[in-house]
Amino acid sequence: MNEPGGHNAGGTVARQQAIYRHGMAGRRPCVPVDYDALERAAGDRLSAEAFAYIAGGAGRESTMAANRAAFERWRIVPRMLRDVATRDTSIELFGQRLPSPFLLCPIGVLEMAHNDADVGVARAAAERGVPMIFSNQASRSMEQCADAMERLRPGAPRWFQLYWSKSDALVESLVARAEGCGCSALVVTLDTTLLGWRPRDLDLAHLPFLLGQGIAQYTSDTVFRSALREAADDGPRPPITTRTLRNVVAAARHYPGSGLRALTSGDALAAVRHFIATYSRPNISWDDLAWLRERTRLPIVLKGVLDGDDARLAVAHGVDGLIVSNHGGRQVDGARASLNALPEIVAAAPDLPVILDSGVRGGADLFKALALGASAVGLGRPYAYGLALAGEAGVGEVIDNLAADFELTMALAGCRNIAEVARARLLPADARGD
């Protein structure tokens, strides 16, 4: 990949050459390059439950389809004879120079994909200087991930994503930990105050959090752990079967320290119950942002904005950035495509960095999002599938492939840098029958 800020000598295009060179020695890439093939291969590898959780969306998954259709509606108009021998794909975001205009979206419960989980992703991201947004529902604590990143590349960019808990003290603690971990922005996800209706998970009657998965940011938190003693223990219980017992033991194994102690003390199950009772506060409103602003010096980025009026409200409330996202179609089935919302949001918040996620699958998608006004894009499911297939190395390949694909698309469309991509012409696919 490009060094951050650097003009590329070998550049990300070196990735393409390396693949063909290795092919001469009979070696193939460790994960499929094509997204559909990548998803199919991950589906073959993962348990039914894990694949359903990652691949699935809300309701009839019409928003997942809309996300892709929105990208397909636009065509790039390549320009010729523009001397693209020297290229620069880097951008600056919140004072940091990034090698390519993309970040890794927060994805929860990565242990379902691979035992490397968040730490494998953190290492792959750090090695390449691509920011990772630590999920609030991570399988490994933010400290573990930050530590792994520091070892590989001191100062490797990372952000933290917050779900606004019912416990103010927990929110304060998570934010302070994110600052302590060297995170350079705080992403507040707004679209998941309640969990969406997800038929694939419902059909398997499977929710990973109940098994103690994806709650590492909580079980590693002193405020959360000290609240366990007082946590109410009066919720409904599942019927007791041998499967229930096996799942209880599994939950205890996920709790830090001795699994046996977590089991006998009841802490592991108390943690799951307390998490379910407090993980999100559906009554948050715009006025709450002032409270958060007072508690952190980090830039606050709102994730899940899909409406121009909400973007204007965000500006009025002094936030520092926006992520246009429908959570990969996992929350409101029938919600508009994220890319279709982008121009309206950029117009409503012209001075803020606007990041686009949901449906990004290849270099052309990055190009289109940037040409429609995004400052950067977020990569989601593709890297989770790379992780599923080959752990850290698989995530690395997915990142390298996207960077190379984007750089080639940019160059072949006649652009030398991101400013030129931002000015590039797109045409609606239906306007001229392109």
By CB under 6 A, residue 327 contacts ligand FMN: yes
Q: 172 exposed, middle or buried (CB, 10 Å; 0-12, 13-18, 19+)?
A: middle
**Closest to 178 in 3D by CA, of 120, 216, 139, 136:** 136
Are 339 and 364 within 8 A, CB to CB?
no
Does 358 help bind ligand FMN (rule: CB under 6 A)?
Answer: yes
* Tokens linked to 260: 């046996």
Number of residues engaging ligand FMN in binding (CB under 6 A): 23
137 binds ligand FMN (CB under 6 A): yes
CA–CA gap between residue 399 and residue 171 (Å, rounded): 31
Query: Closer to ligand FMN at the Cβ: 369 or 415?
Result: 369
User: Of residues 114, 254, 274, 327, which has the active-site annotation?
Assistant: 327
Decide: helix, strand or coil at residue 270.
Answer: helix
**DSSP-based three-state secondary structure for 24:** helix
Assigned token pair, 383: 């890297």
Q: Does 321 bind ligand FMN (CB under 6 A)?
A: no
**Residue number with CB closer to ligand FMN (2 or 137):** 137
Q: Does position 196 bind ligand FMN by CB under 6 A?
A: no
Strands (E), 105-240: 132-134, 158-162, 186-189
Q: Enumerate residues 146-165 that contact ligand FMN by CB under 6 A.
A: 161
Which residue in the set 128, 274, 381, 416 belongs to the binding site for ligand FMN (CB under 6 A)?
381
Minimum gap (Å) between residue 11 Cβ and ligand FMN: 25
Token reading at 425: 């012409």
Minimum distance, C-beta of residue 188 to ligand FMN, in the bound complex (Å): 9
Who's near 66: CB < 8 A, 6+ residues apart?
Answer: 329, 335, 336, 337, 340
Does 375 sit near ligand FMN (CB under 6 A)?
Answer: no
Residue of 111, 267, 357, 407 interacting with ligand FMN (CB under 6 A): 357
Which residue's structure tokens are 């890297």?
383
CB of 324 to ligand FMN, least distance (A): 10
Nearer to ligand FMN, 120 or 359 (CB): 359
Decide whether 123 or 327 has the Cβ nearer to ligand FMN. 327
Residue 356 in the binding site for ligand FMN (CB under 6 A): no
Question: Alpha-carbon distance 220 to 143, whole Å?
Answer: 9
Minimum distance between the CB of residue 136 and ligand FMN, rounded to whole angstroms? 6
**Segment near ligand FMN (CB under 6 A), from 100-108, 193-201, 281-289, 305-313?**
100-108
Q: How far is the CB of 160 from ligand FMN (least distance, A)?
A: 11
Q: Which residues make beta-bridge pairs with 324?
A: 305, 356
Q: Which two tokens stand for residue 177?
A: 């930990």
Would strands 102-104 and 96-98 be described as parallel, antiparallel, or unpaired? Answer: unpaired
Task: Provide, rounded to whole angstroms, the least separation between the CB of residue 111 and ligand FMN.
Answer: 11
Residue 301: helix, strand or coil by DSSP? strand
For residue 108, state whether it binds ligand FMN (rule: CB under 6 A): yes
Q: How far apart are CA 373 and CA 375, in angstroms?
A: 6
Structure tokens at 408: 């080639």
Rounded CA-CA distance 224/216 in Å is 11
Whole-angstrom Cα distance, residue 428 to residue 424? 13
- One-character DSSP codes across 255-268: SSS-HHHHHHHSHH
DSSP 314-342: HHHTT-SEEEE--GGGTSSTTPPPHHHHH
Q: Is position 139 an interface residue for ligand FMN (rule: CB under 6 A)?
A: no
Among 59, 363, 380, 414, binds ligand FMN (CB under 6 A): 380
Site for ligand FMN, residues 13 to 32, rule: CB under 6 A: none
> Taking CB under 6 A as the rule, does residue 141 contact ligand FMN?
no
Q: Which is nearer to ligand FMN, 58 or 149 (CB)?
A: 58
Is 409 near ligand FMN (CB under 6 A)?
no
**Binding positions for ligand FMN, 228-287, rule CB under 6 A:** none
Q: Which of residues 50-79 bind ligand FMN (CB under 6 A)?
A: 53-54
Of 172-180, 286-294, 343-351, 378-386: span binding ligand FMN (CB under 6 A):
378-386
- Cα of 43 vs its chain's centroid, Å: 19
Task: Return the half-sphere exposure (C-beta side, CA atoms, 13 A cut-off) of residue 96.
Answer: 21
Nearest distance from residue 159's CB to ligand FMN, in Å? 11
299 binds ligand FMN (CB under 6 A): no
Active site residue 327: yes
Q: Output 105 or 335, the one with its CB closest to ligand FMN.
A: 105
Binding residues for ligand FMN, per CB under 6 A? 53-54, 105-108, 135-137, 161, 189, 303, 325, 327-328, 330, 357-360, 380-381, 384
Catalytic residues: 327
